[in-house]
Every structure is written in structure tokens, then in C-alpha cells.
Amino acid sequence: MLRSEGFEIEAVQPPTRLRIVVDDRPRTVSLRADYLVSRGGLRLVAEVKSGRVSASLACAATRRQLLEYRVAYDVDGVVLVDMAAKQVHEVRFPRLDQAIELAEVA
């Protein structure tokens, strides 16, 4: 389905580590996304979901997972593959400075 949408698959289940600091103590979290893909000069992480609820961006856990992947893999965006609906959604989160600017306006 990703290839039919013009994505080139660069890696399947690529592992990475995210270093975080909790109470001044570094911790490392291991992650494994479904795919690392590219299209139009952009590198993205693709996450495949098969359930109706988990495949929806209305699902907070899915949004958080996609955001975590965006940060951990340092990519241009993320792709949510909804297997139930047979749809591929490209999702872009604002950069931190843009998110702060948007919050200040609200």
C-alpha cells in the first residue's frame, strides 16, 4: 500500500533509541517503528494500524506514538497506514518553536 502511494521503503522495523532525561538522570528508550520510508525528498516513519480505533488520529495513544517516532527518528514527518480503511495519511507535527508560537496566540 505504501509503494502504491509513491513511498520508497528504506527499512522495515528499523530500531532506534531515544535518550531522555528524568530527574537529571539519562535514560534510553528503545523503539521500533514499522517502516522508514521516503517520498519527494522527505524521510518519514510509517506506522501501520489495523484496528478502527488505533488507526484513527482521534486516538490519543496513536498521536503520541507518532509524535514520539517523529522525534526519535528525526524525520520530516510520519505516515499513518490505516489497514481497515485502506488509507495512508501523511501527518506532520509543528516544530517545537512553531507549537509554542501557536500556543501563545491562543
Q: Which of 52, 51, 18 is nearest to 33 (CA)?
A: 18
pLDDT tens readout for residues 62-98: 999 999 999 999 999 999 999 988 999 999 887 665 5
Assessment of whether the complete model's pTM goes beyond 0.85 = no
Containing structural domain, residue 59: 3-105
Q: What is the Cα–Cα distance from 18 to 86, expressed in whole angstroms?
A: 30
Burial of 39 (0-12, 13-18, 19+ CB in 10 A): middle
Is 35 strand, coil or helix?
A: strand
Count of domains observed in the chain: 1
Phi then psi for residue 82, to 5 deg, are: -95, 100
Contact yes or no for 92/69 (Cβ under 8 A): no
Residue 100 has a pLDDT of 54
- % pLDDT > 90, the chain: 69
Q: What is the Cα–Cα distance from 34 to 36, expressed in whole angstroms?
A: 7
Reported confidence tier of residue 46, pLDDT bands at 50, 70, 90: very high
Any idea what the CATH number is for the domain that residue 65 is in? 3.90.320.10
